[in-house]
Amino acid sequence: MAGKPKLHYFNGRGRMETTRWLLAAAGVEFEECFLESKDDMIKLLNNGVLLFQQVPMVEIDGMKMVQSRAICNYIAAKYNLYGKDLKQRALIDMYVEALMDLNELLMAHHLQPADKKEQHLATIVDKATNRYFPVYEKVLKDHGQDFLVGNQLSRADVQLLETLLMAEECKPDLLAKFPLLQSFKARTSNIPTIKKFLQPGSQRKPPLQEKDLPKVMKIFY
């Protein structure tokens, strides 16, 4: 029997957080090996376990997987979170790729220097409320179902919840104009595996603060 998946990354969200969400939502227990210093990174590099010399890296099913999208694709497919056919998969991919774009923007917010923060927040509000959230609100409105695709939980739902929560961390009332997203958020948060992941003490990571950035940079540069 294969052991638990083992995640190699620093102790923060970054490009590993979505993987943590997917595994948790799928009810899969996983271990984590945190990079605390540059030496830890050098050790991984010297062991030849990082295909492109980068993390995230996840040891799973006999593979040392790298590239966050490849990892998430594999987990989603393995645990039936990727729709039932090619067209559902296409929809899920479209929704998920856009969420990754928005996530990048949201994650960058906490790292903005104080004098740029306000303008950055304005960009987030604009993109989130004009470009992204209306799409998901409309999807839910048009089919009236609980989940984004195929009337079944998929990675699109898990990733949407992840993003909605991150957005609210930037601006608590960002969902004010999106009632269906608000009820989606409540409903999806209540799924037992996800509810567990949202509780204190889980492997979910807090947002990276500006003061933590130097330590993280030292690991990689």
Partner 1 sequence: MAGKPKLHYTRGRGKMESIRWLLAAAGVEFEEEFIEKKEDLEKLRNDGVLLFQQVPMVEMDGMKMVQTRAILSYIAAKYNLYGKDLKERAWIDMYVEGTTDLMGMIMYLPFQPADTKEKNLALIIERATTRYFPVYEKALKDHGHDYLVGNKLSWADIHLLEAILMAEECKPDILSAFPLLQAFKGRISNIPTIKKFLQPGSQRKPPADEKFIATVRKIFNI
Footprint of partner 1 (CB under 8 A): 51-53, 61, 63, 65-67, 69-70, 73-74, 77-78, 86-87, 89-90, 93-94, 96-98, 101, 131-132, 135
Please list the residues that pair with 60 across neighbouring strands: 63
Least distance (Å) between residue 136 CB and partner 1? 11
Report whether 187 contacts 181 (CB < 8 A): no
Q: Is 91 exposed, middle or buried (0-12, 13-18, 19+ CB in 10 A)?
A: middle
Least distance (Å) between residue 86 CB and partner 1? 6
Least distance (Å) between residue 68 CB and partner 1? 8
Burial string for 6-33 (b: 16+ CB within 10 Å, else e) reads ebbbbbbbbbbbbbbbbbbbbeeebeee
Least distance (Å) between residue 97 CB and partner 1? 4
**Which residues neighbour 126 within 8 Å (Cβ) at sequence distance 6 or greater?**
none
Nearest-5° Cα angle at 80, 90 to 196 = 115
Cis peptide upstream of residue 56 (ω within 30 degrees of 0): yes
- Cα separation, 164 vs 184, whole angstroms: 10
- Which element (helix H / strand E) includes 188? helix 179-189
Least distance (Å) between residue 165 CB and partner 1? 20
Least distance (Å) between residue 219 CB and partner 1? 18
Provide φ and ψ at 113, rounded to 5°.
Answer: -65, 155
